[in-house]
Chains A and B, each alone.
Chain A
Amino acid sequence: MQNTWIFVGIFAAIAGVFPLLPIVAARFLAPSKPNTIKLDTYECGMETVGDTWVQFKVQYYIYALVFLIFDLEVAFLFPWAVAFDMLPLFAVVEGIIFILILGGGLLYAWRKGALEWS
């Protein structure tokens, strides 16, 4: 089984080298005339005011939270889906109960208004 992953490892290395080539080429080909204004943060010509950390809502966290829980659900359910032929009907129903319990979580978040982008 490891042998099937060797390809992925080498692929990752090569996939890292390929985008590097044009960037390195650009380093030699492109002009480089930096000045203070050019290197400043781009903000439509205005100087940046205050911290970069502005306006963060808990809403981002809530979405990530619901995503995390469903990610876990997917991790649990993929083996169940793969082994589908070997499972009797009640085992399938157990998987469905699993989905329903987490569906309840989604319903709760919905009713609570936690999914609104306010």
Chain B
Amino acid sequence: MSFWQDPIAVIGQLILDLLHSLNLPEGWIVFIYTLISVVAVASFGLLLVIFLIWLERKVAARFQDRVGPNRAGPFGLLQTFADMVKLVTKEDVVPEKADKLIFNLAPILSLIAVLLIWAVVPFAPGWIGTDLNVGVLYIAAVGSFGILSVLMAGWSSNNKYALLGAFRAVAQLISYEVPMLLTMMIPVLLARGMGMVQMVTVQDTWFIFLAPAAGIIFLVSSIAEIGRTPFDLLEAESELVAGYHTEYTGMKFGMFFAAEFLHAFTVGVLFAILFLGGWRGPGAEEIPILGMFYLMIKGFLGYFVVMWVRSTLPRIRIDHMMAFNWKFLTPVALALLILTALLDKIFAGTALRLPALLGANLVVLALGYWISTLMSRRQAKERTKFKKRPVAKPA
């Protein structure tokens, strides 16, 4: 195996040989080796953020017919570094009435919650932090720390806007977690396993073909989970100042910011793993670095969709958002789960599995679309019913 085909395996072997030559006890070797790989994965995630912020600004600029950052470095690539330097040298204000410990812990926790997801992301064959047998649920579990960090930030600020923003944010996050968890279960059901490696290796046909409706619902509820437009009610400036991180300044605000960007890309990567076959692609088994390339391409595809939606749609109202989740996404996700389970059991191992599942998904999608148009038409009708309002009298 040459270096250019599988650099991680070559370097890993090199480090292991080096450690063995030092005659350390076995436990220490495992510990140091794990530590090095952890640092590698975590710093990959953090370095990615710097690139992502630049990318998002560039793409958003193109959507709005602007150029975006273009002064610092070639194509403005160094812009994010400049921003980082600025954030580090900004004064860090901790409000007097804040609960200091919780106030300082919250931004760290929010970044931990996102970073921890990368521990189970399979980058390429053999390139994975750790292949937990509960991988998919682990991702959901880590996400609940993110929710907790929002609540901690909002409460400890001791500010009305922050607290109100935090509560709205948590209501939104937990609501949209329901369809997300339900649609995460569908790939698990199709793969017969929760391990992330297994998830990728069984996808001879990408799950997006077996469960397109589930994929769409997953993406939509994930966009709500990261709080991007059109679901950015957590920081609706016109209503809540800046939501739960109103009181945060400098690098602590930067943590929330970085966590959001990394989360957005992580969602793209998770979508790629669960529905687009992860690192699968021509030649990826033999040359792992190609697999990494494919995964990143697919992840950026998902991320691009997130950015596209962000720059296209306006923010929706909070009651509409909740109704959309509980009265549309969740029932549809439940129906999909039931249909997938039944059809997959009946047609397991036969050639009809793909057409049956695909057909069922498309029917559910069509039905869902039809029902949603009916609902919106009914709402429009109710809106047009004229209600007599008191007319303002001149004083």
Contacts and interface: CB of A to CB of B under 8 A. Distances in A.
Interface of A: 1, 4-8, 10-12, 14-16, 18-20, 22-23, 25-27, 29-34, 36, 38-44, 48, 52-56, 59-60, 63-64, 66-67, 70-71, 74, 77-78, 81-85, 87, 89, 92, 95-96, 99-100, 103, 106, 109-110, 115-118
A84 B365 CA distance: 25
B319 A116 contact: yes
Contact of A23 (B97, B158, B251): B251
A52 B189 CA distance: 46
Given A19-B107, A41-B97, A96-B341, A10 B330 contact: no
Contacts of B68: none
Given A78-B137, A115-B322, A15 B174 contact: no
Contacts of B91: 30-33
Given A7-B129, A36-B96, A63-B174, 15 more contacts: A11-B42, A30-B89, A39-B94, A41-B157, A41-B159, A66-B178, A67-B177, A74-B140, A74-B182, A77-B337, A78-B137, A92-B341, A109-B326, A115-B322, A115-B326
Given A26-B89, A74-B185, A77-B185, A4 B159 contact: no
Interface of B: 30-31, 34-35, 37-39, 41-43, 46, 84, 87-97, 104, 107-108, 111-112, 115-116, 119, 129-133, 136-138, 140, 157-161, 163-164, 167, 170-171, 174-175, 177-178, 181-182, 185, 188-189, 192-194, 241, 246-247, 250-252, 254-255, 258, 318-319, 322-323, 326-327, 330-331, 334, 337-338, 341-342, 344-346, 348
Nearest to A70: B178
Nearest to A23: B251
B38 A52 contact: no
A43 B157 CA distance: 12
Given A23-B251, A23-B252, A12 B112 contact: yes
A64 B174 contact: yes
Contacts of B327: 110, 115
Contacts of A71: 177-178, 181
A71 B140 CA distance: 10
Nearest to B184: A74
Contacts of A42: 95, 159, 161, 241, 246-247
B64 to A, nearest CB: 28
Interface residue SS majority, chain B: helix
A55 B240 CA distance: 13
A90 to B, nearest CB: 10
B185 A78 contact: yes
A82 B251 contact: no
8 contacts: A7-B37, A7-B130, A19-B258, A26-B92, A30-B88, A67-B174, A70-B182, A81-B189
Contacts, number: 219
Which of A11, A60, A83, A99 is most buried by chain B, counting CB atoms within 10 A of its CB? A11
B34 A44 contact: no
A39 B95 contact: yes
A26 B88 contact: yes
A11 B108 contact: no
A111 B391 CA distance: 35
- 8 A-B pairs with least C-beta separation: A7-B130, A117-B319, A81-B189, A26-B251, A39-B96, A67-B174, A15-B115, A115-B326
A40 B157 CA distance: 11
Given A23-B252, A99-B337, A82 B194 contact: yes
A38 B159 CA distance: 14
Contacts of A53: 163
Nearest to A39: B96
Given A1-B133, A11-B41, A26-B92, A117 B247 contact: no
Contact of A19 (B92, B255, B344): B255
A2 to B, nearest CB: 11
Nearest to B112: A15
Given A10-B34, A11-B42, A54-B164, A39 B93 contact: yes
Contact of B338 (A32, A33, A48, A96): A96
A41 B42 contact: no
B23 to A, nearest CB: 22
Contact of B342 (A54, A70, A92, A115): A92
